[in-house]
Structure 1
Amino acid sequence: MNSTREAAELLTALADAAARFRQAGYAIFLRHQHDTRWRQFSSYGGSDGEPCAVVGFLISFQDDRDLCVSAVVTATPDGLTVGADITIDSDETETARGEHLTYLLELPDVVTTTMPECTATLDDYVRQLTDAAPGLADQVLARTRPGR
């Protein structure tokens, strides 16, 4: 059955993305283990008849802010939409202005109409996020250390 094969391809691609995120998150933690905590996450659900899967990881800094690296695949009437971003919780000044999240890297949502296109987009987005995350974590950590 075609839909079973495509479902298996999507689950395999999500599992691969999760494994790559696990490696990237743990590598960042190892470089900064005295200043950070980390955890991997995955969430499945959705709303309004549009099921989705989100995979990613968090790097938690000593100032209680989290760097969130994630990719999402959502089933929509038009196809499978792939999106990805890296965000950080806003600092006290930004929160006072009503801003609660800052996007450090936001990749555009891409509507895909075939499973190969979906898995290739997910693969590319995970690569971009895992390439960018270490440098962004370094920048955030440099600003959160006392005396900087």
Structure 2
Amino acid sequence: MKWTTDLLTPDVNPHRQYRMRCTVGEHSARDVRRIVRSYLSLWNMKELADAAELAVTELLANVIRHVPDRRCTVLVLRRPGGLRVEVSDGSPEKPVVRCADSAVEALDAGGRGLALLAAVVDAWGVLPTADGGKTVWFECTATTAPTCT
């Protein structure tokens, strides 16, 4: 995975967000999951780690499968009471939630990532970007109030 980070963006508290620009490969999700888990630990929101890691894995898998150059930006934001993660790419193709309509489709290994995403996060959506691409985002809400660090 090729990446750059701008953790120390001017006028942004580095303990409130993390952004990386990367070209993802088949094993990139592992590194991003570690980063997400580390920030959730720093922010005292460890209970969100499983859902957030699964969700970000699904979004990165969609970049690998559907974005020809595999370039994306991952933004991890600490929000009051939870977490927001955004994955932006240059592809205008909107993601589609697929459901198995038959027993044969139920055995298909792909195409259900967004349904899985929707099942583990509190909210998610897709926004167009100014460059013609899109941002797919999700939010997870903490059950206990995070403490400030």
TM-score normalized by structure 1? 0.31
Decide which structure has the larger Cα Rg and report it: 1
TM-score normalized by structure 2? 0.30
Structure number with the bigger relative contact order (C-alpha 8 A, sep ≥ 6) is 2
**Larger helix proportion, structure 1 or 2?**
1
